[in-house]
Structure 1
Amino acid sequence: MALTATLEEQQRLLELQRLDSDTDAARAQMGRLRSDEQLRELKTQANAIAAEETELSGAADTARTELATAEERVERTQARRDQTRSRLDAGQGGAKELQNMGHELETLESLLQDHEEQQLAAMENAETAEDALTAASTRLAAVRDHVSAREQHVQAELQEVAGRGKALLAQRAELAALLPETLIAAYERARERNGGIGAARLEGNISGASGMALSPVELEAIQALEPTEVARCPETDALLIRP
């Protein structure tokens, strides 16, 4: 049995197709926004810098501990040297003891020099570690700002697209109510088979559904149909709306 519809209904079917295509595009856009590549890359970057910051924070803690240990070692050695020097300057003890204290003082002076060099190296290491940690924290804060800004942008886009999609669905429901159920059913079956294309215009001998030219025999068969008989694309079986 031939599928029939008034000329007005057939034209409305093209408008229904437009609304459905726009709705499909809105859904696809929402999918892209939900998996926004730029946002995903920014979050990946932020996570990498956060991991680096954690590692650098541990290194800075270690460097601070090593510096504190070096400073304490210098203080202890200085105290022993100063005590030994005071005793030696005061001449406390016998000649042998004073001689030993002189040797001890020389040893402590040399040891103190080593400890002070180690302290200086520890200070430089701590400063380098702190600078690296500060730089990482600064970079992390900047990237997190970018993440926040991108999230706000994506959310605003999602809301806009969702609102547009809602309006399209409302228009679609209003228009579909004006069309026969049999026409809608045939259109929906064609859409399902053809990846969203259920109806298209016939422009000359070109099917808007397939984008291909109809053969003379196919075109003649369509032209022989009554105006109220709905034509179909020979290639896709989508509904073809004649001018």
Structure 2
Amino acid sequence: MPGATWGLTASTFTASFVEFVEALTIVLAMGVTRGWRSALAGTAAALVALAAFTAAAGYALSTWLPPAVLQLVVGTLLLIFGLQWLRKAVLRSSGLKARHDEAEEFAAQTAAARRAAADSRFGVDAFAFVVSFKGVFLEGVEVVFIVITFGTGAANMGAAVGGAAVAGVLVLIAGAVLHRPLAMIPENTLKYGVGLLLAGFGTFWAVEGLGVFTEGESLAWPGGEWAIPVLVACWLLVSRALVLALPRLKLEAAQ
């Protein structure tokens, strides 16, 4: 298996794993406090909506855009998405933003569920259904986005889907066995790594796609796919420099 395929699979696995962990926390909170029937009903409805969204988005990207334009669009989207993840990771690593904690998130969700008034419709608790649906759908959209963009950009949808599927199965098994949020997962570190991977792959494909404005075909990187780990390393250096610089800049601005 080529190195790029391993990187593709690892990227979709890690990103999907993080999103699935966050969705699991929401569903667990609703199931424990408001009832599993309602929480699982909301989850099932979200999965149906995600399936329709995936089919529509995947078909549109794969059939409407020429290869070079597709690389430019996919690369730009991944780069923007990756930089958002990196921005949060840099702020957390520099101490300027609180680190995400699944245990705290679970406590907040359960507290909100206990405060909400009872509203049952057709034997399903409306609050638990809506919150579970919203949580799973929103986190799932990010997974779909990552899988589709990686899969179409690398012309290897199987590896992208496989990485996400394995992540989903592992999170489901862990949640079923532990019956509590996966707070022991180093989620902040994983998000940092995902941001680097998204930014690296996004830069690679976006620059390749710029060829549409010159020769009408994709540009080629020196070294081909070996440029990807170099780009990831460059983004790592930039992010670490920001982690060191931002606290000083904030201190100087306060003075």
Q: Where is the helix percentage greater, Structure 1 or Structure 2?
A: 2
TM bucket (normalised to shorter chain) is under 0.3
TM-score by length of 1: 0.28
TM-score by length of 2: 0.27
Higher gyration radius (CA):
1
